[in-house]
Amino acid sequence: MRAVVFDRYGPPNVVRLAEVERPVPRDGEILIKVHATTVNRTDCAIRAGAHLVDRLGYSIVTTGNPFKGLRRPAAPILGTEFAGEVEAVGSGVNGFGVGDPVFGINAGKFGAHAEYLGMREDAAVVRKPSSVSFEDGAAVCDGALLALGCLRKARLRRGQRILIYGASGSIGTAGVQLARHLGAEVTAVCNTANVEVVSSLGPDRVIDYEQEEFLQAGERYEVIFDAVGKLPFGRCRDFLAKGGVYAPTDGWSNLFWGPWTAIVGDAKVRYQIPPHYRKEDVLFLRGLMESGAYRAVIDRRYPLERVVEAMEYVETAQKTGNVVLTL
């Protein structure tokens, strides 16, 4: 089968198309013919290998050995999100049949940048709604599950005010829609180019940070959600209501602020480490899509052969929503 592989860390051009062995489903597994997948910032960070933690983390989740991937990638195929059709099933599989359209995320093992992907049937994979295309299905899980985990840690409730910084990215566009579903009053922050797209997701207010200051005197929020890892706690803590929560997606300093604010002060820093990718949460997202309460935002689509170009674009940090690879 064709797959995008990398055998060394570095810039986007270290990845290449190659013929690799097709997986064979074992007991309890399904084999998925991938029709669409995505390139996200996790793929790019692991491929670059600029930070030791990325190399160690990738090695742990793909091989169980934290040191196997220190010098070279521990597993050759990236990609977590996917949508496709069940090609074959292993013995003991009861929940899926050949031909079933499916979507999900293989965050623990990667491997979705390929024509075929093997997964356990009890993993984060479910049947795709007929009303959702393969491309849209592939672009759902990563951003939405990360946003969902952050909002749950923040204990966002109906009627609360939330500010979402970086509302135009994969996590941000998901966060806006999920916060709306939870009944919160949503203020979304993005740049001028993305105001229209973010507005279409239904927030109560959109602030263009290129035109005005989004943290304004007198305004307080029960939750401030940093969806891009660029809004430090120190900058926004004074804009949290009493007992308010800052929910980050990135930033090493938050490993200090989380425990510290748990015992000192009114404002709290809460984050989900490690992220959770569960079948029940993918089923929850499927229900939202079927009801029209959630849709994937796709910026660009590339054929698998143009994966280097897709990675280069993701690394500009200017994408709106998701970048999809089609097979």
With respect to residue 302, please indicate whether it lies within any of the assigned structural domains: yes
Do 120 and 217 have their domain in common?
no
288 part of a folded domain: no
pLDDT bin (cut points 50, 70, 90) of residue 60 is confident
pLDDT of residue 108: 78
**Residue 192 exposed, middle or buried by CB count within 10 Å (0-12, 13-18, 19+):** exposed
pLDDT in tens, 86-111: 999 999 999 999 999 999 999 878 99
In this predicted structure, the answer to whether residue 262 has a pLDDT above a threshold of 80 is no
Can you tell me the distance from the alpha carbon of 6 to that of 265, in angstroms, rounded to the nearest whole number? 46
Spatial distance between the Cα atoms of 140 and 109, rounded to a whole number of angstroms: 18
Instruction: Kindly state the tokens that stand for 146.
Output: 């990360």
Give the chain's largest Cα–Cα span.
Answer: 62
Residue 283 lies in a domain: no
**Do residues 161 and 200 both lie within one domain?**
yes
Of 269, 288, 315, the one marking the end of a domain is 269
Q: Is 281 contained in some domain?
A: no
Residues 93 and 118 in one domain: yes
Beta bridge partners of 245: 223, 268
What percentage of the chain has pLDDT greater than the value 70?
Answer: 99
Model confidence pLDDT, tens digit, residues 169-196:
999 999 999 999 999 999 999 999 999 9
pLDDT category at 266 given cuts 50, 70, 90 is confident
- Position 47 in a domain: yes
Q: Is the pLDDT of residue 308 over 90?
A: yes
Residues 6+ apart with CB under 8 A from 156: 162, 179, 182, 184, 222, 223
Residue burial 221-259, b: 16+ Cβ < 10 Å; e: rest: bbbbbbbbeebebeebbebbbeebbbbbbebeebeebbe
- Reduced to 3 states (helix: H, G, I; strand: E, B; else coil), residue 225 is strand
Of 250, 269, 288, the residue that ends a domain is 269
Both 125 and 157 in one domain: the answer is: no
Range(s) of the domain holding residue 229: 142-269
Q: Are residues 151 and 214 in the same domain?
A: yes
d(CA 215, CA 221): 10
Q: What local confidence, expressed as pLDDT, does residue 325 receive?
A: 98
6 with 131, same domain: the answer is yes
Q: Looking at this protein, which amino acid is placed at residue 28? A: G
Tell whether 10 and 135 lie within a shared domain. Answer: yes
40, two tokens: 């996200």
Domain boundary among 230, 252, 269: 269
Residues 198-216: what's their mean pLDDT?
94
Which tokens go with 286? Answer: 């499927």
**SS3 state of residue 186:** strand
Give the integer Cα–Cα distance in Å for 303 and 305: 5
Question: Does residue 280 fall inside a structural domain?
Answer: no
Q: Is the pLDDT of residue 254 over 90?
A: no
What's the burial of 213, exposed, middle or buried (CB within 10 Å: 0-12/13-18/19+)? exposed
- Give the percent of the chain with pLDDT over 90: 79
SS3 118: strand
* CATH code: domain of residue 11: 3.90.180.10
Q: What is the mean pLDDT of residues 296-302?
A: 97
Contact call for residues 91 and 31 (beta carbons, < 8 A): no
Q: Are residues 128 and 9 in the same domain?
A: yes
Q: Across residues 47-68, what is the average pLDDT?
A: 87
User: Once rounded to an integer, what is the mean pLDDT over residues 7-21?
Assistant: 96
Whether omega before 129 lies within 30 degrees of 0, making that bond cis, reads no
Closest among 246, 256, 165, 272 to 209, alpha carbons compared = 165
Rank 188-192, 226-230, 233-237 by mean pLDDT and report only the highest.
Answer: 188-192
Check residue 211 and give its pLDDT: 94
Tell me if 103 is assigned to some domain: yes
Domain co-membership, 26 together with 57: yes
Instruction: Provide the domain count of the chain.
Output: 2
Task: For residue 290, tell me if it sits in a domain.
Answer: no
- Where residue 256 falls among pLDDT bands split at 50, 70, 90? low
Say whether both 236 and 163 belong to one domain.
Answer: yes
CATH number, domain of 193, equals 3.40.50.720
With H, G, I as helix, E, B as strand and everything else as coil, classify residue 15.
coil
The model's pTM is: 0.94
Model confidence band, residue 258 (pLDDT cutoffs 50, 70, 90): low
In the chain, count H helices and then E strands.
10, 15
Q: Are 122 and 219 found together in one domain? A: no
Residues 199 and 236 grouped into a single domain: yes
Q: Which pLDDT value is given to residue 310?
A: 98
| pLDDT score of 153 | 94
